Amino acid sequence: MSDLGKIDRAFFDRHVAPNLGADRDDVAVGPTHGVDFGVLDIGGQALVTATDPLSILPAIGLERAARFALDLVLADVAVSGVAPSHLSICFTLPEGLTDEEFATIWETIHAECADLGVAVVTGHTARYSDISHPWVGAATAMGVGDHDDIVRPDGARPGDRLLLTNGPAVESVGLLTTLFGDRLELPDDVIAAGRDRLEEVFSVRDALTAAAAGPVTAMHDVTEGGLAGACNEMADGAGARFAVDRAAVPMRPGVREVCDHLGFDPWAATSCGSLLLAVDPDGVDDVRAALADRDTPVAEIGRVEAADDGGSEVLVDGERLEHPSVDPSWDAYAALAADAADDSDS
Protein backbone atom coordinates (compact mmCIF):
# COMPACT_ATOMS: atom_id res chain seq x y z
CA MET A 1 0.00 0.00 0.00
CA SER A 2 1.21 3.55 -0.69
CA ASP A 3 2.52 5.51 2.29
CA LEU A 4 0.13 8.42 1.86
CA GLY A 5 -2.99 9.15 -0.14
CA LYS A 6 -5.03 6.66 -2.13
CA ILE A 7 -4.31 2.95 -1.94
CA ASP A 8 -2.17 1.65 -4.78
CA ARG A 9 -3.25 -0.57 -7.66
CA ALA A 10 -1.72 -3.76 -6.23
CA PHE A 11 -3.60 -3.46 -2.93
CA PHE A 12 -6.82 -2.60 -4.75
CA ASP A 13 -6.57 -5.58 -7.09
CA ARG A 14 -5.71 -8.02 -4.28
CA HIS A 15 -7.95 -6.91 -1.42
CA VAL A 16 -10.68 -4.58 -2.70
CA ALA A 17 -11.73 -5.71 -6.17
CA PRO A 18 -12.50 -9.33 -5.17
CA ASN A 19 -14.56 -8.23 -2.16
CA LEU A 20 -17.38 -5.96 -3.28
CA GLY A 21 -20.35 -7.37 -1.45
CA ALA A 22 -23.32 -8.76 -3.35
CA ASP A 23 -23.07 -9.33 -7.09
CA ARG A 24 -25.95 -7.27 -8.51
CA ASP A 25 -26.98 -6.95 -12.14
CA ASP A 26 -27.87 -3.27 -11.73
CA VAL A 27 -24.23 -2.23 -11.20
CA ALA A 28 -23.17 -1.00 -14.64
CA VAL A 29 -19.79 0.41 -13.54
CA GLY A 30 -18.38 -0.79 -10.24
CA PRO A 31 -15.27 0.17 -8.25
CA THR A 32 -12.21 0.36 -10.47
CA HIS A 33 -8.79 1.69 -9.52
CA GLY A 34 -8.30 5.18 -10.87
CA VAL A 35 -11.98 5.58 -11.84
CA ASP A 36 -13.84 8.50 -10.30
CA PHE A 37 -17.42 7.20 -10.26
CA GLY A 38 -19.75 4.21 -10.32
CA VAL A 39 -22.94 3.72 -12.33
CA LEU A 40 -26.20 1.97 -11.45
CA ASP A 41 -28.93 1.07 -13.91
CA ILE A 42 -32.25 2.22 -12.49
CA GLY A 43 -35.14 1.40 -14.79
CA GLY A 44 -33.05 2.05 -17.88
CA GLN A 45 -31.60 5.31 -16.57
CA ALA A 46 -28.02 5.73 -15.39
CA LEU A 47 -27.45 6.80 -11.78
CA VAL A 48 -23.87 8.06 -11.54
CA THR A 49 -22.50 8.23 -8.02
CA ALA A 50 -19.22 9.07 -6.28
CA THR A 51 -18.05 9.38 -2.66
CA ASP A 52 -15.23 11.55 -1.32
CA PRO A 53 -13.95 12.84 2.00
CA LEU A 54 -14.77 16.41 3.01
CA SER A 55 -11.77 18.63 3.57
CA ILE A 56 -12.37 22.01 5.22
CA LEU A 57 -9.38 24.31 5.72
CA PRO A 58 -10.54 27.36 7.72
CA ALA A 59 -7.23 29.12 7.05
CA ILE A 60 -8.20 29.74 3.42
CA GLY A 61 -11.53 31.29 4.47
CA LEU A 62 -14.63 29.32 5.40
CA GLU A 63 -16.62 30.21 2.29
CA ARG A 64 -13.82 29.31 -0.10
CA ALA A 65 -13.03 26.16 1.90
CA ALA A 66 -16.67 25.06 1.70
CA ARG A 67 -16.83 25.65 -2.06
CA PHE A 68 -13.59 23.75 -2.53
CA ALA A 69 -14.80 20.78 -0.47
CA LEU A 70 -18.08 20.62 -2.36
CA ASP A 71 -16.52 20.93 -5.82
CA LEU A 72 -14.14 18.07 -5.04
CA VAL A 73 -17.12 15.79 -4.34
CA LEU A 74 -19.31 16.90 -7.24
CA ALA A 75 -16.46 16.81 -9.75
CA ASP A 76 -16.23 13.02 -9.58
CA VAL A 77 -19.76 12.81 -10.99
CA ALA A 78 -19.33 15.73 -13.39
CA VAL A 79 -16.40 14.01 -15.16
CA SER A 80 -18.90 11.37 -16.29
CA GLY A 81 -20.56 14.09 -18.36
CA VAL A 82 -23.73 13.73 -16.27
CA ALA A 83 -24.60 16.75 -14.17
CA PRO A 84 -24.64 16.10 -10.41
CA SER A 85 -28.18 16.49 -9.11
CA HIS A 86 -28.31 15.08 -5.57
CA LEU A 87 -26.03 15.10 -2.54
CA SER A 88 -25.81 13.07 0.65
CA ILE A 89 -23.43 14.66 3.15
CA CYS A 90 -21.97 13.71 6.53
CA PHE A 91 -20.14 16.15 8.81
CA THR A 92 -17.99 14.89 11.70
CA LEU A 93 -17.08 18.28 13.13
CA PRO A 94 -14.30 19.28 15.52
CA GLU A 95 -15.51 20.31 18.96
CA GLY A 96 -14.03 23.78 18.52
CA LEU A 97 -15.99 24.68 15.38
CA THR A 98 -18.65 27.18 16.43
CA ASP A 99 -22.28 27.20 15.34
CA GLU A 100 -21.65 30.45 13.47
CA GLU A 101 -18.69 28.97 11.59
CA PHE A 102 -20.63 25.87 10.62
CA ALA A 103 -23.55 28.03 9.52
CA THR A 104 -21.21 29.82 7.12
CA ILE A 105 -19.97 26.50 5.74
CA TRP A 106 -23.46 25.10 5.34
CA GLU A 107 -24.98 28.21 3.79
CA THR A 108 -22.11 28.36 1.28
CA ILE A 109 -22.68 24.72 0.31
CA HIS A 110 -26.41 25.41 -0.04
CA ALA A 111 -25.83 28.41 -2.32
CA GLU A 112 -23.42 26.54 -4.57
CA CYS A 113 -25.68 23.48 -4.74
CA ALA A 114 -28.66 25.67 -5.61
CA ASP A 115 -26.70 27.34 -8.41
CA LEU A 116 -25.68 23.94 -9.83
CA GLY A 117 -29.14 22.41 -9.48
CA VAL A 118 -28.05 19.96 -6.77
CA ALA A 119 -30.48 18.98 -3.98
CA VAL A 120 -29.27 17.79 -0.57
CA VAL A 121 -31.34 14.68 0.15
CA THR A 122 -29.93 13.32 3.41
CA GLY A 123 -26.97 13.59 5.75
CA HIS A 124 -25.58 13.56 9.27
CA THR A 125 -24.04 16.35 11.30
CA ALA A 126 -22.43 16.12 14.76
CA ARG A 127 -19.37 17.14 16.74
CA TYR A 128 -16.90 14.55 17.99
CA SER A 129 -13.79 14.57 20.15
CA ASP A 130 -10.38 13.96 18.55
CA ILE A 131 -11.57 15.32 15.19
CA SER A 132 -9.42 18.00 13.60
CA HIS A 133 -9.33 19.93 10.35
CA PRO A 134 -9.14 19.37 7.47
CA TRP A 135 -10.92 15.98 7.36
CA VAL A 136 -14.41 16.62 8.72
CA GLY A 137 -16.65 14.07 7.04
CA ALA A 138 -17.60 12.66 3.65
CA ALA A 139 -20.24 13.05 0.99
CA THR A 140 -21.83 11.13 -1.87
CA ALA A 141 -22.85 12.92 -5.05
CA MET A 142 -25.32 11.52 -7.56
CA GLY A 143 -26.51 12.39 -11.05
CA VAL A 144 -29.14 10.86 -13.31
CA GLY A 145 -28.81 10.63 -17.09
CA ASP A 146 -28.78 8.39 -20.12
CA HIS A 147 -26.27 5.57 -20.29
CA ASP A 148 -25.27 6.67 -23.80
CA ASP A 149 -24.32 10.12 -22.51
CA ILE A 150 -21.78 8.88 -19.97
CA VAL A 151 -18.15 9.76 -20.61
CA ARG A 152 -16.51 6.55 -19.48
CA PRO A 153 -13.14 6.81 -17.73
CA ASP A 154 -11.75 4.05 -19.97
CA GLY A 155 -13.11 5.55 -23.18
CA ALA A 156 -10.00 7.12 -24.74
CA ARG A 157 -9.40 5.78 -28.25
CA PRO A 158 -6.42 5.83 -30.61
CA GLY A 159 -6.60 9.03 -32.62
CA ASP A 160 -8.12 11.09 -29.81
CA ARG A 161 -6.39 14.29 -28.76
CA LEU A 162 -5.43 15.01 -25.15
CA LEU A 163 -6.47 18.34 -23.65
CA LEU A 164 -5.55 19.75 -20.25
CA THR A 165 -7.22 22.61 -18.41
CA ASN A 166 -5.25 24.94 -16.14
CA GLY A 167 -2.17 22.74 -15.72
CA PRO A 168 -0.15 20.84 -13.12
CA ALA A 169 -0.10 21.63 -9.38
CA VAL A 170 -2.51 24.60 -9.34
CA GLU A 171 -4.20 23.23 -6.22
CA SER A 172 -0.96 22.38 -4.42
CA VAL A 173 0.64 25.72 -5.16
CA GLY A 174 -2.53 27.65 -4.38
CA LEU A 175 -2.88 26.01 -0.98
CA LEU A 176 0.80 26.11 -0.01
CA THR A 177 1.25 29.78 -0.87
CA THR A 178 -2.03 30.77 0.79
CA LEU A 179 -1.30 28.85 4.00
CA PHE A 180 2.47 29.26 4.22
CA GLY A 181 3.42 32.08 1.84
CA ASP A 182 5.19 34.02 4.59
CA ARG A 183 7.53 31.03 5.07
CA LEU A 184 8.60 30.78 1.45
CA GLU A 185 11.68 32.78 0.50
CA LEU A 186 10.28 33.87 -2.84
CA PRO A 187 9.50 37.26 -4.39
CA ASP A 188 6.18 38.81 -3.42
CA ASP A 189 4.89 38.65 -6.99
CA VAL A 190 5.53 34.89 -7.14
CA ILE A 191 3.68 34.34 -3.85
CA ALA A 192 0.79 36.48 -5.11
CA ALA A 193 0.64 34.52 -8.37
CA GLY A 194 0.69 31.26 -6.45
CA ARG A 195 -2.19 32.39 -4.25
CA ASP A 196 -4.20 33.31 -7.34
CA ARG A 197 -4.10 29.64 -8.35
CA LEU A 198 -6.53 28.85 -5.54
CA GLU A 199 -9.26 30.41 -7.67
CA GLU A 200 -8.66 27.70 -10.29
CA VAL A 201 -9.44 24.64 -8.15
CA PHE A 202 -13.08 24.37 -9.24
CA SER A 203 -13.80 21.97 -12.11
CA VAL A 204 -17.48 20.94 -12.06
CA ARG A 205 -18.67 23.56 -14.55
CA ASP A 206 -15.63 23.01 -16.79
CA ALA A 207 -16.29 19.26 -16.92
CA LEU A 208 -19.94 19.71 -17.87
CA THR A 209 -19.04 22.40 -20.42
CA ALA A 210 -16.47 20.15 -22.10
CA ALA A 211 -18.79 17.15 -22.18
CA ALA A 212 -21.58 19.19 -23.75
CA ALA A 213 -19.25 20.60 -26.43
CA GLY A 214 -17.53 17.25 -27.21
CA PRO A 215 -17.42 14.52 -28.24
CA VAL A 216 -15.26 13.85 -25.16
CA THR A 217 -14.34 10.17 -24.90
CA ALA A 218 -12.71 10.19 -21.43
CA MET A 219 -12.21 12.70 -18.63
CA HIS A 220 -10.29 12.63 -15.34
CA ASP A 221 -9.77 15.27 -12.66
CA VAL A 222 -6.11 15.72 -11.76
CA THR A 223 -6.03 14.87 -8.05
CA GLU A 224 -3.56 12.78 -5.99
CA GLY A 225 -0.60 11.80 -8.13
CA GLY A 226 -1.08 14.85 -10.30
CA LEU A 227 -0.91 14.93 -14.08
CA ALA A 228 1.43 11.93 -14.15
CA GLY A 229 -1.09 9.89 -12.18
CA ALA A 230 -4.08 11.04 -14.25
CA CYS A 231 -2.35 10.21 -17.55
CA ASN A 232 -1.37 6.75 -16.36
CA GLU A 233 -4.80 5.96 -14.96
CA MET A 234 -6.62 7.05 -18.12
CA ALA A 235 -4.15 5.24 -20.38
CA ASP A 236 -4.38 2.10 -18.27
CA GLY A 237 -8.19 2.13 -18.44
CA ALA A 238 -8.11 2.51 -22.22
CA GLY A 239 -5.29 0.03 -22.81
CA ALA A 240 -3.57 2.66 -24.92
CA ARG A 241 -0.47 4.80 -25.21
CA PHE A 242 -0.64 8.47 -24.28
CA ALA A 243 2.00 10.45 -26.18
CA VAL A 244 2.50 13.80 -24.43
CA ASP A 245 4.46 16.84 -25.54
CA ARG A 246 6.06 18.37 -22.44
CA ALA A 247 6.41 21.82 -23.99
CA ALA A 248 2.67 21.91 -24.71
CA VAL A 249 1.65 21.38 -21.07
CA PRO A 250 0.53 24.74 -19.63
CA MET A 251 2.18 25.98 -16.45
CA ARG A 252 0.23 28.66 -14.62
CA PRO A 253 2.02 31.69 -13.11
CA GLY A 254 3.84 30.94 -9.90
CA VAL A 255 3.62 27.15 -10.19
CA ARG A 256 7.11 26.37 -11.46
CA GLU A 257 8.83 28.76 -9.04
CA VAL A 258 7.01 27.45 -5.96
CA CYS A 259 7.51 23.80 -6.89
CA ASP A 260 11.21 24.34 -7.59
CA HIS A 261 11.61 26.18 -4.28
CA LEU A 262 9.96 23.36 -2.34
CA GLY A 263 11.74 20.67 -4.34
CA PHE A 264 8.89 18.70 -5.86
CA ASP A 265 7.73 17.83 -9.36
CA PRO A 266 4.55 19.73 -10.32
CA TRP A 267 3.52 16.85 -12.59
CA ALA A 268 3.23 14.56 -9.55
CA ALA A 269 1.33 17.00 -7.32
CA THR A 270 -2.41 17.14 -6.79
CA SER A 271 -4.16 19.70 -8.95
CA CYS A 272 -7.90 19.82 -8.32
CA GLY A 273 -9.42 22.14 -10.88
CA SER A 274 -7.36 20.70 -13.72
CA LEU A 275 -9.02 18.25 -16.09
CA LEU A 276 -7.38 15.77 -18.45
CA LEU A 277 -9.62 15.07 -21.44
CA ALA A 278 -9.46 12.70 -24.37
CA VAL A 279 -11.40 14.29 -27.23
CA ASP A 280 -12.37 13.09 -30.68
CA PRO A 281 -10.37 15.14 -33.22
CA ASP A 282 -13.60 16.54 -34.66
CA GLY A 283 -14.52 17.99 -31.27
CA VAL A 284 -11.23 19.56 -30.21
CA ASP A 285 -11.93 23.04 -31.53
CA ASP A 286 -15.45 23.08 -30.05
CA VAL A 287 -14.26 21.93 -26.62
CA ARG A 288 -11.44 24.47 -26.56
CA ALA A 289 -13.78 27.27 -27.62
CA ALA A 290 -16.39 26.35 -25.00
CA LEU A 291 -13.80 26.33 -22.23
CA ALA A 292 -12.28 29.58 -23.49
CA ASP A 293 -15.72 31.14 -23.21
CA ARG A 294 -15.52 30.32 -19.49
CA ASP A 295 -12.02 31.89 -19.34
CA THR A 296 -10.59 28.47 -18.51
CA PRO A 297 -7.04 27.96 -19.82
CA VAL A 298 -6.85 24.82 -21.97
CA ALA A 299 -4.14 23.33 -24.16
CA GLU A 300 -3.73 20.34 -26.46
CA ILE A 301 -0.89 18.35 -24.91
CA GLY A 302 -0.75 15.12 -26.90
CA ARG A 303 -2.60 12.25 -28.50
CA VAL A 304 -3.85 8.74 -27.84
CA GLU A 305 -2.14 5.93 -29.75
CA ALA A 306 -2.53 2.16 -29.94
CA ALA A 307 -0.02 0.47 -27.66
CA ASP A 308 2.28 -1.98 -29.44
CA ASP A 309 1.66 -4.90 -27.08
CA GLY A 310 -1.96 -4.15 -26.26
CA GLY A 311 -0.98 -2.79 -22.87
CA SER A 312 -0.74 0.83 -21.79
CA GLU A 313 1.94 3.44 -21.26
CA VAL A 314 2.50 7.17 -21.04
CA LEU A 315 5.36 8.66 -23.04
CA VAL A 316 6.49 12.26 -22.56
CA ASP A 317 8.71 13.35 -25.42
CA GLY A 318 9.28 9.64 -26.07
CA GLU A 319 10.30 8.77 -22.48
CA ARG A 320 8.20 6.63 -20.15
CA LEU A 321 6.30 8.49 -17.42
CA GLU A 322 5.51 6.36 -14.37
CA HIS A 323 2.63 6.76 -11.95
CA PRO A 324 3.97 8.51 -8.80
CA SER A 325 4.12 6.27 -5.73
CA VAL A 326 3.28 9.22 -3.49
CA ASP A 327 2.05 12.77 -3.98
CA PRO A 328 5.01 15.03 -3.07
CA SER A 329 2.83 17.98 -2.12
CA TRP A 330 1.76 16.09 1.01
CA ASP A 331 5.34 16.06 2.31
CA ALA A 332 5.75 19.76 1.50
CA TYR A 333 2.54 20.58 3.38
CA ALA A 334 3.58 18.45 6.38
CA ALA A 335 7.03 20.06 6.60
CA LEU A 336 5.67 23.61 6.42
CA ALA A 337 2.91 22.84 8.91
CA ALA A 338 5.45 21.35 11.32
CA ASP A 339 7.65 24.45 11.06
CA ALA A 340 4.65 26.66 11.76
CA ALA A 341 3.70 24.57 14.78
CA ASP A 342 7.27 24.70 16.13
CA ASP A 343 7.32 28.48 15.84
CA SER A 344 3.99 28.84 17.63
CA ASP A 345 5.25 26.68 20.52
CA SER A 346 8.49 28.61 20.93
CATH number for the domain spanning 110: value is 3.30.1330.10
pLDDT at 1 over 50: no
Residue 189 contacts by C-beta under 8 Å, 6 or more apart in sequence?
none
pLDDT at 2 over 60: no
In contact, 46 and 28? CB cutoff 8 Å? yes
Residue 150 contacts by C-beta under 8 Å, 6 or more apart in sequence?
39, 46, 48, 80, 81, 82
Q: What is the pLDDT of residues 151-164, one digit of tens each?
A: 987 899 999 999 99
Domain final residue, candidates 149, 171, 204 = 149
**Strands, sheet with 319-320, edge to edge from the N-terminal-most edge strand:** 216-221, 275-279, 161-165, 298-306, 240-244, 313-316, 319-320
Average pLDDT, the chain: 94
Is residue 342, in this structure, part of any structural domain at all?
no
Higher local confidence (pLDDT), 1 or 123: 123
Is residue 92, in this structure, part of any structural domain at all?
yes
Q: What is the pLDDT of residues 185-236, one digit of tens each?
A: 999 999 999 999 999 999 999 999 999 998 999 999 999 899 999 999 999 9
Specify the pLDDT at position 269.
97
pLDDT at 322 over 60: yes
Domain final residue, candidates 96, 118, 149 = 149
Q: What is the pLDDT of residues 10-62, one digit of tens each?
A: 888 899 999 999 999 999 999 887 678 999 999 999 999 999 999 999 999 99
Domain final residue, candidates 90, 114, 149 = 149
Q: Where are the beta strands (DSSP E) in the chain?
A: 27-29, 38-42, 45-55, 86-94, 119-128, 135-145, 161-165, 216-221, 240-244, 275-279, 298-306, 313-316, 319-320
- Give the lowest-confidence range in 1-5, 179-183, 215-219, 326-330: 1-5
Mean pLDDT in residue range 122-136? 93
Whether residue 137 sits in one domain with residue 239: no
Report how many domains make up the chain.
Answer: 2
Whether residue 200 sits in one domain with residue 122: no
Is residue 345, in this structure, part of any structural domain at all?
no
User: Computed from CA positions of residues 9, 229, 175, 338, in that sequence, does the dihedral angle turn out positive or negative?
Assistant: positive
Whether residue 167 sits in one domain with residue 43: no
Q: What residues make up the domain containing 288?
A: 160-336
Whether residue 313 sits in one domain with residue 180: yes
Is residue 155, in this structure, part of any structural domain at all?
no
Whether residue 216 sits in one domain with residue 106: no
Whether residue 197 sits in one domain with residue 67: no
Mean pLDDT in residue range 76-86? 97
pLDDT at 171 over 70: yes
Whether residue 332 sits in one domain with residue 183: yes
Mean pLDDT in residue range 104-125? 98
Whether residue 166 sits in one domain with residue 140: no
Specify the pLDDT at position 5.
66
* 314-344 core/surface letters (b: 16 or more CB in 10 A; e: else): bbbeeeebebbeebbbbebbeebeeeeeeee
Mean pLDDT in residue range 291-307? 97
> What is the C-alpha radius of gyration for the chain, rounded to an integer number of angstroms?
20
Whether residue 140 sits in one domain with residue 250: no
pTM, whole model, 2 decimals?
0.93
Whether residue 106 sits in one domain with residue 21: yes
